[in-house]
Amino acid sequence: MSTITEVRTTREEFNFQPEGLVAIDEKYLDTRSDIEITAILKCHQPVTTQRNVWAIWGDGLEKMPEWCLRNVISWVRRLGPSWTVRVVDLVSGSPNQIYHFVDADEFPSNFNDVLPEAKHGGVYMDVSTLIFRSLDDICWSALEDPKSPYKVALFEYQCRKHFGQVMNNFIACTKGDPFIKNCKSTSFLILGDNCLCLLNTGHAIFCSVWQDSPSLEGAHAHPLLRHLGLLEPDDPGFGENPDFTKFTDYAAHMLSYERLRLLEEPGQDGFSGTKYFKDHIFLLSAWKEEFYGQDEIDGEELYQLLSLDFRPKDSADKLQQRAKEFVIGLLSKSAIAKFGESYWHPGMPLPLPTLWKKNPGSDCKPGTWAAYLRWASVHMDQTRRLGRCLEPIPIPDEKDTVVQVKVLEPVA
């Protein structure tokens, strides 16, 4: 892919003001064309502040699926000049090669898919993400407040009996954090020193699991992770015969966080994962703030609904009403939307992105609910807690088994 199909929609084309949303003044938006924004994304942008948005596409922006590039362009447009968006890559000679931002020795020897937020501060997001609030109003204002205890923001996605598992597709932190330092993985290297304690602690675990292995197959049985068991989310998207062994290997990064959360290093100066998690993690619910409605509507039905003509006042058509309920609910009640397809196996419904890629342009076809979703994600803001940060989930006392070992010490 070398060019982006320009799709420009005006407010007058929709003429629809739903409850829970308010128009954003154009002066706060980046009004450059898609082509102009793409050109900026291809350039190297030096790091000058912590207000950075980081994403990665290993083969470079030119090879990114067009629907994902439209997501990134919408971040730039929605966030305006107060944030710098970068898509780093692994392309030799690229101005955005990841090694312009982090050192190669910070990765496993076979690394080919990671990121830099633990070094510079900011927010990492998968390119398959749409945002419906400013990052400040999602979590950032709490993280940058010097009086706030919060250092890192994550989404909680329960996969076990007890609370505490987190996603890795959205990670925000200011410079200088210990949890990420010991987790060591893609999304943590760019964020910062504050990230570098938390984010890089997990980074160290993940690198040890992956080191010298051609893939993450069998990661669940690694000596650093095997005591945790399989991740088994209660998620209808997994279909009738879920392969949780394969999923746990795929989600080894999440498992690295979990090891760290359930770890107490011996000694007076040892790292306390349970205390750090409870005291310093700004946690949001993935099901409420990221996967809104996806527990009831699978990717195939989503594709059908978003492909419908945009007729919000058609109360007689049940599909129109279902599309309206989903889209307006998503825009007004969810911080972001993650539409992923990386983990899929036979028996699971086809993911929405798979269908979008099979039908190029269907994610933004003029006159459809998909086009409205894209337009409103940039031009409309939520009235809930407008101008204020979301409220994080209260983190309960730890009920799972906590181990007394060093960060990189196997559990007997």
**Model confidence over 117-168: pLDDT tens digits?**
556 778 999 999 999 999 999 999 999 999 999 999 999 998 888 899 999 8
Of 126, 127, 131, 125, the closest CA to residue 24 belongs to 131
Mean pLDDT, contiguous 10-residue spans, the chain (412 residues): 59 82 95 96 94 92 96 97 94 91 64 51 92 98 94 92 90 72 50 43 70 78 90 81 86 86 89 91 96 93 97 94 97 96 76 95 96 97 96 94 91 86
Q: What is the per-residue pLDDT for 11?
A: 65
DSSP string for 79-140: HGGGSEEEEEB--TT-TTBGGGTS-GGGS-TT--S---HHHH-EEEE-TTEEE-S-HIIIII
CA terminus-to-terminus distance, the chain: 50
**Model confidence over 63-98: pLDDT tens digits?**
999 999 999 999 999 999 999 999 999 899 999 998
Q: What is the per-residue pLDDT for 408?
A: 85
Q: What is the per-residue pLDDT for 15?
A: 80
Q: What is the per-residue pLDDT for 148?
A: 95
Helix (H) or strand (E) holding 281: strand 281-285
Domain locations in the chain? 21-180+195-233+240-396
**Model confidence over 29-70: pLDDT tens digits?**
999 999 999 999 999 999 999 999 999 898 999 999 999 999
Q: Strands 152-156 and 281-285: what pairing?
A: parallel
DSSP string for 214-236: SSSTTGGGSTTTGGG-------G
Give the pair of three-digit tokens for residue 107.
């990765």
Q: What is the per-residue pLDDT for 278?
A: 94
Q: Are 209 and 193 in contact (CB under 8 A)?
A: no
Q: Which amino acid does the sequence have at 198?
A: L
Of 294, 239, 272, 278, the closest CA to residue 404 belongs to 272
Count how many residues are written for the chain.
412
Of 323, 324, 382, the closest CA to residue 133 belongs to 382
Of 182, 188, 184, 223, the closest CA to residue 207 belongs to 184
